[in-house]
Amino acid sequence: MQPLKPKHCDSDNLRLCVSKTTSSILTEYEKYTGYNKNEIVEHLVEEIMRDDLEFMEWLKTKRFNKRAHKNILDISPESSTESA
């Protein structure tokens, strides 16, 4: 069993416009899982980042805020294997 990890306390409010289909899926998935839409989207984005190695490589070539860069790279596949 995977241990529970602390929720991210440093959150930003982000307003998104999604299709009615996506909104319906999120609503039903929220009911099914017991997680709220924010938590579902957070999880999905992290999963995408773990799987998109090309994006991670591209990101490493970009110059921007070091803290943001570290936060994004902390969810990369390399970081999840290092902590295991």
Low-confidence residues of the chain, pLDDT below 70?
1-9, 64-69, 73, 75-84
Distance CA 14, CA 12 (A): 6
> For 7-29, how does the pLDDT look when each residue is reduced to its tens digit (9 = 90+)?
666 777 888 899 999 999 999 99
State how far Cα 11 lies from the chain centre.
Answer: 12
Q: 0.75 cut: is pTM over it?
A: no
- State how far the Cα of 73 lies from the Cα of 77, in Å rounded to an integer: 9
